[in-house]
A and B are shown apart, each in its own frame.
Chain A
Amino acid sequence: MNAPHPPSQPSALRIRQLSVNYDKNPVLWDISLEVPAGKLVGIIGPNGAGKSTLIKAILGLVTPISGKVEFFNKPLKEVRLRVAYVPQRESVDWDFPITVRDLVLMGRYGRIGLFNWPRQADREAAERCLEMVDMLPYANRQISQLSGGQQQRTFIARALLQEADIYFMDEPFAGIDLATEAIIMDILRQLKSKGKTVFIVHHDLNTVEEYFDWVIMLNMHLVACGSVLQAFNPDTLNAAYGKSYALFDEALKLSQQKSSGII
């Protein structure tokens, strides 16, 4: 179910047989896919399908038991600076004493390296990113005073500061206002027009066709990966969302208990 792409350009992302276990139980099965550059990719699937796990495995935040991930034919280590990550909003404590501006500046920490401080050029770039997400008036505000949409925009500004070629965003459209949604969509289109590739974990099936031109459908295994026209249709949706996994869950739970000696 992989759509072909011009062989001259390396794929933005290529995954080969990625499997992730949690306590000996499969969470992601043998995922293999390829995504060309310059696409807005929606990662969709039912709850617990492993969508966030996929991103984490790709970025090396969880260790897979097998599989290879390549960005433009290179491993993550070599292209870290070209990959940006926007985690879920809840993963962070918004009462931390930091201003919007300083949060955005964190985006440069990967590039600045140990023992160095952000310089003037970094600060000016941060200003530009803040402007892009319409958060410049709030630059000096404490993050604890932000609304959900403003928090998300700040997170995205931070990712923009990384000036990456590939972006991974985990549920950026969850719990935000319409204005923020419009801003984020606009940013995504700008990124796409510059040839950047953006992967977004998304939960709302109704907006898939509107937002994305490529889709990865996941339910622990790969259901489909291709352009929205080809891969997003009633058959694939049924394959991803339709099956009952009650038996599978039960067997998995048994296996987990056996492995930890509880029964």
Chain B
Amino acid sequence: MESLVHLNPYEGKTVFGFLLQFVIRIGYFLFGELSFSDLASDEIQVIVLAGVSASSALVGSFLVLRKMTMLANSLSHTILLGIVSVYLLTGAHDGLSNVFVHVEPINIHAMLLAALATGLVTAFLTEFLTKVARLQEDASTGLIFSSLFALGIILVTLLTRNAHIGTEVVMGNVDALRLDDCKLVLVIFAINAALFTLFFKEFKITTFDPALSQAFGISTVFFNYLLMTQVSCTAIGAFRAVGALMVLAFITGPALTARLLTNDLKGMLFLAIGLGSIASLIGVALSRHFLTVYGLALSTGGVVVCTLTVFFAVAALYRCSVDFSLRDVA
């Protein structure tokens, strides 16, 4: 529908042209001259990716501090099976292709439900293997997500009969993002932001000193499961945009970069959100640039991940130089 009514205003722009155009259109949007439905596909990409980065940065910071990033890896894989199951259970297997090929609007409720269920089932199965079957934790995690993901891939291939579905699952399909995705991602971000603001103290103390928080009567188990649910929702929001695996870069990258640059927890969270969002903007701009100037249609998600890596490298270099000069002083 959009391509008939609007020409993409970002067509043929280089990086700087893109950024300029973007700022102008944001200006229009804020002054009410532009409505939601007028958003160009590039802008939708920026919004979705920025939303994904922001949510990921928030949950990622705590995951890194709690040393639970492998769980996030696990969840981002098992989400696939969750999506397949929900579509199977609701009898809408034709709709399954929609998740990846985007012919019709997705069902937000189904997606969030899939996220919830997947998160809980993954956590439960991993705990079961570790505690009851007495398998070591690293092996339990790896086994659960690999087997569930393998099952998911087989089911999804059989059900959608699409030869490229496997690739889409890990790559995402940024070009086919629509307004519904914006909504989903922004809703998820709002939920995450609200939960972390409301429970900031509790997350902080359960992360840092679980023994003391238990003594205060703050349940570490509750906040663990809450965080895992948030990770699942974030992963689902990211799924269509960047696929199962790259969301991990959004989760770990900005958080680790921010940790290098600041020692304050709040600062780390804000910095991570900022870095992720900026990387999304630059990534989309660069992607457009490559298309315009070199005729290369690169995966936008991949370009954003590369941008995040560059940010990390820069922060790492900065940190090294600071430590080095401090050593001279000391």
Direct contact of A and B (CB under 8 A): yes
Residues of A within 8 A of B (CB): 59-61, 80, 83, 85, 87, 91-93, 96-99, 102-103, 106, 109-110, 112, 114-115, 117, 142
Contact present for A96 and B214 (CB under 8 Å):
no
List CB contacts (< 8 Å) of B202-221 with chain A.
202, 204-205, 207-218
Contact present for B216 and A110 (CB under 8 Å):
yes
With A85-B211, A115-B198 known as contacts, the answer to whether A80 contacts B216 (CB < 8 A) is: yes
Is the C-beta of B65 less than 8 angstroms from some C-beta in chain A? yes
With A96-B65, A97-B268, A109-B201 known as contacts, the answer to whether A61 contacts B211 (CB < 8 A) is: yes
Could you say which residues of chain B place their CB within 8 Å of the CB of A91? 209-211
Contact present for A97 and B259 (CB under 8 Å):
yes
Contact present for A109 and B216 (CB under 8 Å):
yes
Is the C-beta of B104 less than 8 angstroms from some C-beta in chain A? no
Q: What distance in Å separates the Cβ of B252 from its nearest Cβ neighbour in chain A?
A: 16
> Which among B198, B209, B263, B264 is the interface contact of A87 at CB below 8 angstroms?
B209
Specify which of A87, A97, A98, A102 lies most central, judged by the most chain B CB atoms within 10 Å of its CB.
A97
Is the C-beta of B265 less than 8 angstroms from some C-beta in chain A? yes
Q: What distance in Å separates the Cβ of A134 from its nearest Cβ neighbour in chain B?
A: 22
Contact present for B212 and A96 (CB under 8 Å):
no
A110 to B206 Cα, complex, angstroms: 12
> Which among A85, A102, A114 is the interface contact of B202 at CB below 8 angstroms?
A114
Contact present for B215 and A59 (CB under 8 Å):
yes
A135 to B208 Cα, complex, angstroms: 20
Contact present for B211 and A60 (CB under 8 Å):
no
Q: What are 24 residue pairs bridging A and B, where the CB atoms are less than 8 Å apart in the complex?
A: A59-B215, A60-B215, A61-B211, A85-B212, A87-B211, A87-B212, A91-B210, A92-B208, A96-B208, A97-B65, A97-B259, A97-B262, A97-B263, A97-B265, A99-B264, A106-B212, A109-B205, A109-B216, A109-B218, A110-B215, A110-B216, A110-B218, A112-B201, A114-B202
Could you say which residues of chain A place their CB within 8 Å of the CB of B216? 80, 109-110
Could you say which residues of chain B place their CB within 8 Å of the CB of A97? 65, 259, 262-265, 268
Of chain B, the residue at the smallest CB distance from A262 is B134
Q: What distance in Å separates the Cβ of B257 from its nearest Cβ neighbour in chain A?
A: 13
Categorize the interface residue count of chain B: 20 to 34
Contact present for B208 and A85 (CB under 8 Å):
no
A80 to B216 Cα, complex, angstroms: 7
Could you say which residues of chain B place their CB within 8 Å of the CB of A102? 265
Residues of B within 8 A of A (CB): 65, 198-199, 201-202, 204-205, 207-218, 259, 262-265, 268
Contact present for B209 and A106 (CB under 8 Å):
yes
Q: What distance in Å separates the Cβ of B291 from its nearest Cβ neighbour in chain A?
A: 39
Could you say which residues of chain B place their CB within 8 Å of the CB of A98? 204, 208, 263-265
Could you say which residues of chain A place their CB within 8 Å of the CB of B214? 59-61
Of chain A, the residue at the smallest CB distance from B264 is A97
Could you say which residues of chain A place their CB within 8 Å of the CB of B213? 109
A117 to B198 Cα, complex, angstroms: 10
Q: What distance in Å separates the Cβ of B188 from its nearest Cβ neighbour in chain A?
A: 22
Specify which of B205, B211, B212, B265 lies most central, judged by the most chain A CB atoms within 10 Å of its CB.
B212
A87 to B214 Cα, complex, angstroms: 11
Could you say which residues of chain B place their CB within 8 Å of the CB of A110? 215-218
A103 to B208 Cα, complex, angstroms: 9
A180 to B262 Cα, complex, angstroms: 29
Q: What distance in Å separates the Cβ of B313 from its nearest Cβ neighbour in chain A?
A: 21
Could you say which residues of chain B place their CB within 8 Å of the CB of A87? 209, 211-212
Q: What distance in Å separates the Cβ of A159 from its nearest Cβ neighbour in chain B?
A: 9
Could you say which residues of chain B place their CB within 8 Å of the CB of A109? 201-202, 205, 213, 216, 218
A96 to B205 Cα, complex, angstroms: 11
Specify which of B199, B202, B214 lies most central, judged by the most chain A CB atoms within 10 Å of its CB.
B214
Of chain A, the residue at the smallest CB distance from B209 is A92
Could you say which residues of chain B place their CB within 8 Å of the CB of A80? 216-217
Could you say which residues of chain B place their CB within 8 Å of the CB of A85? 211-212, 215
With A97-B268, A115-B198 known as contacts, the answer to whether A106 contacts B208 (CB < 8 A) is: yes
Contact present for A96 and B207 (CB under 8 Å):
yes
Could you say which residues of chain A place their CB within 8 Å of the CB of B207? 96
3 shortest interchain CB distances as A-B pairs: A110-B216, A87-B211, A85-B215
A72 to B88 Cα, complex, angstroms: 59
A85 to B262 Cα, complex, angstroms: 30
Contact present for A61 and B265 (CB under 8 Å):
no
Could you say which residues of chain B place their CB within 8 Å of the CB of A61? 211, 214-215
Contact present for A99 and B263 (CB under 8 Å):
yes
Of chain B, the residue at the smallest CB distance from A113 is B201
Of chain B, the residue at the smallest CB distance from A111 is B216
Q: What distance in Å separates the Cβ of B290 from its nearest Cβ neighbour in chain A?
A: 36
Q: What distance in Å separates the Cβ of B217 from its nearest Cβ neighbour in chain A?
A: 6
Could you say which residues of chain A place their CB within 8 Å of the CB of B262? 97
Of chain B, the residue at the smallest CB distance from A141 is B263
